[in-house]
Structure 1
Amino acid sequence: MPDGRQTEVQAPGRGRGRTGRPRLTEQRKAEIRLEIARAAVELFVAQGVAATTGEQIGQAVGVSSRTVWRYFPSKESCVSPLFAAGIDKIAACLREWGHGRPLEEALAPALDIGGRVGGPGIPELRELVRLTRTEPGLRAAWLQAHDEAEPAFARALAARAGLPADDVRPVIQAAMLNAVLRAAAERDAWGGPAEVGAGLAESFRSALAVAEAGLS
């Protein structure tokens, strides 16, 4: 985690911004976005979305609120990098999914059914998805993530099967998988109390078992 110093994105120049400090690399910018996303989730879960400010999110990772708004148009959109990271991991697993291998096993590195899910831990993910039911801004970010996931999954499934990117089969398969993952996460998060981690893991297992026949 940052040491509390304020981090700013520097203006263009010959390797340095107006302050004389080196400009941030694209990799570092991505890291800061992810740090902001994780801090936002923790604050939303701990104190609610309405009570959370951009300044609080920035303070949690040692950046200014100005930097937070430079990266994100709203506090709710701060969670988007976590969703994007999950999409990328699932797509990578789909490309490497060997024929005859169980779907649950293939996606285990991305969903990490035994522990963590691509960014926050399972308890944080469960609480974040729970908040999407009542928070319109988070709901929009959640649905936008699934809109972006579908073509990414379709490209991965097409590559796996050696099919053209515009073939209808991987497109339909991707839509089904996308719906399955969303339904599993929402069913668990919007249901009653569950054992920490176990409820979401079991929801993914059950949903993937239903989907596997149509994807194999």
Structure 2
Amino acid sequence: MEPTRDAAPVTRSTARRTGRPPLTERRKAATRLDIARQAVRLFADRGVAGTSAEEIAAAAGLSTRTLWRYFPSKEECVRPLLTTGLEEFAERLRAWPPGASLVEALGLDDDAPDPADSAEVAQLVRLTRGEPGLRAVWLQLHSEAADAFAAILAERQGGGPPDLAVRVRAGTLNVALRTGVEEWADRGGVPGAPPLRDVLRAALATAALPD
């Protein structure tokens, strides 16, 4: 059995980071992202059960011991590909300017193309449908994101702990974003499929969240 250790969650402190991270942190982030890409490739080809941590480490050019320094389990290796969008949304929510709509605050009001990693993210999200270990990582990340969103929205309203209304609003936002990403991923590769921003805008409109 492979070891399990405490993972680094998407938290409020993630959303507070500003400026360009030091070179060492950027290198670590690049290594984590490469591990995630290799893990997704192997999981898609062999399944999670058929892929070992040793194989992921070898594909990323690392020792297994080094791999465990970055991630607590082989399933957690995919975390960097799933957290990027949530961290960006948290940062945008914290910087939400007065008078802007939620769609504008989240940066969904333009027609920019999907992110560079969108194909891998879509493939990974599809994998979470049938791989319980990956599904657990996906849902855990969104649980953490809902808490972070609630803290940010409460702070925007003047501080203090999130009350029921704020937590419901944050939870609704989180579910809308998660469901939108899953819908977009399910349509991946279909001719004429809408880009991620369009699907997320539709999800938010359906949720009818107040600005």
Q: Calculate the TM-score normalised by the size of structure 1.
A: 0.73
> What displacement does 1:150 show?
0.7
- Superposed CA deviations along residues 70-105 of structure 1, whole A, max 9, x for unmatched, are 332321111123333332211110011223323223
Judge conservation of contact 2:147–2:170 (CA < 8 Å) in 1. yes
Map of 1:69 onto structure 2: 68
Judge conservation of contact 1:87–1:152 (CA < 8 Å) in 2. no
CA distance in structure 1 between the aligned counterparts of 2:100 and 2:197, rounded to whole angstroms: 19
- Indicate how the Cα distance of structure 1 residues 59 and 108 shifts in structure 2: closer, same or farther if over 3 A, else same: farther
- Superposed CA deviations along residues 164-184 of structure 1, whole A, max 9, x for unmatched, are 233333222110100101111
Q: Does 1:138 align with 2:138?
A: no
- Indicate how the Cα distance of structure 1 residues 64 and 192 shifts in structure 2: closer, same or farther if over 3 A, else same: closer
Task: Give the length in aligned residue pairs.
Answer: 188
> What displacement does 1:45 show?
3.3
> What displacement does 1:196 show?
8.1
CA distance in structure 2 between the aligned counterparts of 1:197 and 1:123, rounded to whole angstroms: 13
2:169 equivalent among 160, 166, 173? 173
Map of 2:104 onto structure 1: 105
> What displacement does 1:199 show?
4.6
CA distance in structure 1 between the aligned counterparts of 2:156 and 2:25, rounded to whole angstroms: 29
Structure 2: segments with no counterpart, 5+ residues: 1-23
- Indicate how the Cα distance of structure 1 residues 113 and 182 shifts in structure 2: closer, same or farther if over 3 A, else same: farther
Judge conservation of contact 1:76–1:137 (CA < 8 Å) in 2. yes
Q: Does 1:95 align with 2:90?
A: no
Map of 2:82 onto structure 1: 83
Q: Does 1:122 align with 2:118?
A: yes
Structure 1: segments with no counterpart, 5+ residues: 1-24
Residue aligned with 1:52, SS: coil
CA distance in structure 1 between the aligned counterparts of 2:57 and 2:189, rounded to whole angstroms: 31
Residue aligned with 1:108, SS: coil
Q: Which structure is higher in RCO with an 8 Å CA cutoff and minimum separation 6?
A: 2
Q: Does 1:214 align with 2:201?
A: no
Map of 1:18 onto structure 2: none
Residue aligned with 2:133, SS: helix
Task: Letter of the 2:210 partner, please give it.
Answer: L
- Indicate how the Cα distance of structure 1 residues 64 and 91 shifts in structure 2: closer, same or farther if over 3 A, else same: same
Map of 1:44 onto structure 2: 43
1:201 equivalent among 174, 197, 201? 197
Larger gyration radius, structure 1 or structure 2: 1
- Indicate how the Cα distance of structure 1 residues 26 and 100 shifts in structure 2: closer, same or farther if over 3 A, else same: closer
CA distance in structure 1 between the aligned counterparts of 2:47 and 2:126, rounded to whole angstroms: 12
Alignment RMSD: 2.9
Name whichever of 144-153 and 188-197 sits farther off.
188-197
CA distance in structure 1 between the aligned counterparts of 2:92 and 2:77, rounded to whole angstroms: 25
